[in-house]
Amino acid sequence: MEKELSFEEALAEIEQILRQLENKNLELERAIELYERGLFLIHFCEEKLKKAKAKVEVIFKDEKGFKLENLERASKILKDGN
């Protein structure tokens, strides 16, 4: 199985397919093949977008290095003066 496609890669392919479909003299079989692939990619992107959400973490630095905390805990830690 091919590796998980990124949104950007999918989008690039969607746009490339669009450019190809612009050619009115395309073979019908090829056009349909591209159309189906394009719809598949659009669907893939839509699914990805629907789930899209930001993940927020806070960087803490100490002598040992860096660690990440979620925002709520980080606020608490900072408020309590470490």
User: Which residues in this chain contact another protein in the complex, by CB under 8 A?
Assistant: 7-8, 14-15, 17-18, 21-22, 24-26, 28, 31-32, 35, 38-39, 42, 45-46, 48-59, 61, 65-66, 68, 71, 74-75, 78-79
Closest separation between CB of residue 2 and another protein, Å?
20
End-to-end CA distance of the chain: 48
Closest separation between CB of residue 1 and another protein, Å?
21
Tokens 């746009």, residue located: 15
Instruction: Tell me the one-letter amino acid at 53.
Output: K
Q: Residue 5 or residue 42: which is nearer to another protein going by CB?
A: 42
The Cα 15–Cα 8 span in angstroms is 10
**Cβ atoms of residues 7 and 45 within 8 Å:** yes
